[in-house]
Amino acid sequence: MEIINRYVYSVSKRLPEAQRKDVADELRGLIEDMLEERVQDREVTEEDVEMVLLELGHPRILARKYRGEKRHVIGPELYDLYILVLKIALISTIAVNTAIFVIQVIVNPMNILDYFVSFIVSFFTVIIPMVFGWTTLGFALAEYFSEGRMEKLELEKGWKPSSLPAVPDEKRQIKRSEPITGIVIYVLLIIMLAFSNEYFGIWIFREGELSGVIPFLNENLYSSVMILAFILFGSGIVKEYLKLFYEKWTYKLVTFITIVNVVSIGLILFLITGFQIWNPNFMNELIQYGMITRGSEGYDVISQIWEQLTFWTVIFLVFGLLFDLIAGFVKVRKAK
């Protein structure tokens, strides 16, 4: 009878391809068995069929019982991480967009209303859906391809009470908000530099409006500067993730952070000393814009600073590394 076909189809179309035929055959047999029991020797009427199908229930519910196991996009094993990443991504994008809005307003204060409206509109139509969408999609894919392996991994690892982490000393503990803030700042810096590196310099205002920027960086070398920035901020993000992962200051964490620092600083030094990354026309442009005059005392001071910029950058970086290292060790030791 056609209605039986429709019912069976309705159930099987909701099942994975591989099971469809088998379940359909079995279901057809079941319906016939149920009909047979119901009518005994008389003819099967449409009403009988309807009663039997009603007894079996809504195809969606029956199909759900057949599918059994999984009815979630992101499982409990990944959920915590999902929420964490989502939080970081949301805060970062909101921070970036707010920063861009602020810059737009500074550069062109007359259009503040336009900027504000487009900021709000893009917030709801692009930013939130994009961040939610991509983060969720990423995790859903991870969930799909891991197929319960996470759970197994957790079980197989074995567990004993002695492997429980010690309750962290308050002085050594890293508050979650700290690395999250760090990551957000690094993301902000990366995006700001990638999309508006032309604003990285001295801003010249004339009559309340921005009339030009004297860049700090050599414009011909933006690509290598970009690499530099990505290494620097990227390694910063790695560091913050390590903090998030270890949750407290340990020698291991400090060692990892040191390795990350040394590698990134090595690369930065190579880039800074190997290329002329600072704007070679900086001094001339300052004069052009009338900021200083050649031969004045100010000129001498600034040109001296400018010429020694590479040297000071190196000093700054090395001290930054040392400071990071010492601060880490101090925090580890404090608890003992």
Partner 1 sequence: MSDAYKHIDKLMQELRRGTITIGALSQLHEPQYGYSLVTTLKEKGIQVEPGTLYPLLRRLEKQGLLESKWDTNETRPRKYYLLSEIGKEVLDLLLVEWQSIAKSMDYLIKERGGENGDH
Binding site for partner 1 (CB under 8 A): 19, 22-23, 25-27, 29-30, 32-34, 37, 55-57, 61-62, 65-66, 68
Report the residue number, 10 or 136, with the smaller CB distance to partner 1. Answer: 10
Q: Which is nearer to partner 1, 147 or 198 (CB)?
A: 147
Q: Are 291 and 235 within 8 A, CB to CB?
A: no
- Give the span between the Cα atoms of 18 and 97, in whole angstroms: 47
Q: Which is nearer to partner 1, 11 or 187 (CB)?
A: 11
Residue 278 bridge partners (DSSP): 217
Residue 64: CB minimum distance to partner 1, A: 9
How many Cβ atoms sit within 10 Å of the Cβ of residue 175? 11
Which DSSP state fits 169?
P
Question: In this complex, which beta carbon is closest to partner 1, that of residue 149 or of residue 333?
Answer: 149
Cβ nearer to partner 1, comparing 27 with 272: 27
- DSSP string over 204-226: EEETTEEEEEEESB-GGGHHHHH
Tell me which DSSP letter residue 164 carries.
Answer: S
Q: How far is the CB of 48 from partner 1 (least distance, A)?
A: 16
Residue among 52 and 237 whose Cβ is closer to partner 1: 52
Q: How far is the CB of 173 from partner 1 (least distance, A)?
A: 41
In the bound complex, what is the minimum distance in angstroms from residue 147's beta carbon to partner 1?
Answer: 14
Nearer to partner 1, 29 or 129 (CB): 29
Shortest separation between residue 34's beta carbon and partner 1, angstroms: 7
Q: Work out how close the CB of 59 gets to partner 1 at its nearest, in angstroms, rounded to a whole number.
A: 10
Q: How far is the CB of 146 from partner 1 (least distance, A)?
A: 19
Burial class (CB in 10 A: 0-12, 13-18, 19+), 257: buried
Helical H segments across the chain, by residue range: 2-12, 17-39, 46-56, 59-67, 76-107, 112-122, 128-146, 149-156, 177-196, 222-246, 251-274, 282-288, 297-307, 309-334
What are all long-range contacts of 97-106, with beta carbons under 8 Å and residues at least 24 apart? Answer: 97/122, 97/123, 97/127, 99/188, 99/192, 100/192, 100/195, 100/196, 103/196, 103/199, 106/210
Whether the Cβ atoms of residue 62 and residue 56 lie closer than 8 Å to each other: yes
Looking at residue 250, the DSSP 8-state letter turns out to be: -
CA angle (80, 85, 87) in 5-degree steps: 95
User: Least Å distance between CB 61 and partner 1?
Assistant: 8
Q: How far is CA 315 from CA 279, 319, 328, in A?
A: 20, 6, 20
Rounded Cα gap, residues 187 and 195, in angstroms: 12
- Measured from the CB atom, is 65 or 160 closer to partner 1? 65
Instruction: Rank residues 21 and 252 by Cβ distance to partner 1 and give the closer one.
Output: 21
Shortest reach from residue 158's CB to partner 1, in Å: 23
Which residues on adjacent β-strands are paired with residue 201?
A: 215
